[in-house]
Amino acid sequence: MFAKGAGILLLLLFAATAYATPDIKHWQTKKGAGVYFVEAHELPMVDIQMIFDAGSSRDDSKPGLALLTNVLLAEGAAGLTADEISQNFENLGAIYGQDADNDSASVRLRSMSDPGKLDPALKNFKHVLISPDFPQDAFERERNRTLIAISQKQQSPGDLAKDAFYAAVFNTHPYAVPSEGTEESLPQISTNNVAAFHKKYYVAGNAVIAIVGDLDRARAEQLANDLTEEMTQGEQASPIPEVSALTAAKTITIDHPSTQTHILVGQPGIKRGDPDYFPLYVGNHVLGGSGMVSQLFEEIREKRGFSYSAYSYFTPMRQPGPFVAGLQTRTDQAKEALQLLQKQLHTFVENGPTQAELDAAKKNITGGFPLRIDSNSDIVGYLGLIGFYGLPLDYLDTFNEKVESVTVEQIKDAFKRRLSPDKLVVVMVGPKTE
């Protein structure tokens, strides 16, 4: 499959694919939070991520609530103002961060491992986690800033397409609504709602703690206990609703004064830990997941110059997250590009990859394995994923062998069972044609 004269390249392809994986330690804090820890002494720093089952799928009748709660944690806590909280972190060179998506809400700390820096940073981190005050003025300001962020999406054809796609794919499921909420929902949220959300979900029994860095197990245990000691024990949040399969194809067009039309095509995909994960992941790598060598990239960009990006991916979530394929192209050729994209999808679901394509994908995925875990920030991300979604502790150790064991037949079978090309959502955002 390679060009002439590539002898040395071929030789190296058969290098061993067994790589050292991080040694993950797992235990529970006294209050019942699951801890996932990797000791790494090369750099004098520590990364901590605390993840709660408190994402926007728990917004219920108040879309935007989970994200707003998450954003407001550091805007006033334990009697300290937002200025004081941020100074307390930044004077130490510590970095605080937070994030919320459909499934989870997380809070992060990166600090030097020197106890003179780490201990006070942790104390401040605890205030934010356990004792946020949700002051009224900060609440109103952050709600207004969220409304501005929602307005900003209206001027982005890509964002409009994404929101419309989720709405159509997930219908009445909470995944249908953006985490930021809407112009209608945000005014209905109060500080009481935020405080109640925090009280219910930011509890030890609903948390996972991921720690990577320059500390030993004993210190990590002490740190995790200390973080959760004053936290309510609480309990694991109840399961979120099931995602329903689509019953018919649906096309949504949105008129927007852009020069390109953004196209997204897809349907509900898979859960984290789904038994079909590996065949679908490896298969999609061939279809549109592998950057510059995928079928979609080749057919849409390399052969025809239609689009800067052309891709597909599964986003596994607590409930089946979306499968999506997309591109953006000059509006006068959008229909042609859409037809091509759909044809590629149909063909792939029908035929799967060739053996050569599958072999190449496996080489890319397994050969690139060391790149996935080459930094503390990568590793802490994997620990969070494993802990939050309950993936096996040997997820990284067995990753390559699971990829290697995937066959063309398994991919064909999984794609046929899991995707229905006759029931796709199609979203097109761009200037009205005709």
Binding mask 80-119 for another protein (x = CB under 8 A): --xx--xx-xxxxxxxx-------------xxx----x--
Closer residue to another protein (CB): 43 or 249: 43
Q: Is 200 exposed, middle or buried (0-12, 13-18, 19+ CB in 10 A)?
A: middle
* Angstrom distance (rounded) from CA 400 to CA 408: 17
Q: Determine if 9 is a binding residue for another protein (CB under 8 A).
A: yes
Q: Are 382 and 373 in contact (CB under 8 A)?
A: yes
Backbone angles phi, psi at 29, to 5 degrees: -75, 170
Joined tokens for residue 16:
């061993």
Q: Are 375 and 383 in contact (CB under 8 A)?
A: no
Task: Tell me which H or E stretch contains 51.
Answer: strand 45-52
Closer residue to another protein (CB): 339 or 377: 377
Shortest approach of another protein to residue 278 CB, angstroms?
A: 17
Judged by CB under 8 A, the chain residues 10 through 49 that form the site for another protein are: 12-13, 15, 19-20, 42-45
Q: Determine if 218 is a binding residue for another protein (CB under 8 A).
A: no
Site residue total, another protein (CB under 8 A): 98
Shortest approach of another protein to residue 328 CB, angstroms?
A: 5
* Angstrom distance (rounded) from CA 352 to CA 350: 6
Shortest approach of another protein to residue 47 CB, angstroms?
A: 9
Joined tokens for residue 202:
């930011």
Closer residue to another protein (CB): 15 or 218: 15
Binding mask 152-181 for another protein (x = CB under 8 A): x-xxxxxx----------------------
Of 309, 310, 332, the residue nearest 259 (C-alpha): 332
Of 184, 199, 152, 187, the residue nearest 58 (C-alpha): 199
Judged by CB under 8 A, the chain residues 291 through 310 that form the site for another protein are: 291-293, 297-298, 301-309
Judged by CB under 8 A, the chain residues 327 through 386 that form the site for another protein are: 328-330, 360, 363-371, 373-377
Closer residue to another protein (CB): 203 or 383: 383
Q: Determine if 1 is a binding residue for another protein (CB under 8 A).
A: yes
Closer residue to another protein (CB): 201 or 311: 311
Backbone angles phi, psi at 275, to 5 degrees: -60, -25
Cα angle 324, 326, 328 (rounded to 5 degrees) comes to 160
349: amino acid identity, one letter:
V
Closer residue to another protein (CB): 93 or 273: 93
Q: Determine if 398 is a binding residue for another protein (CB under 8 A).
A: no
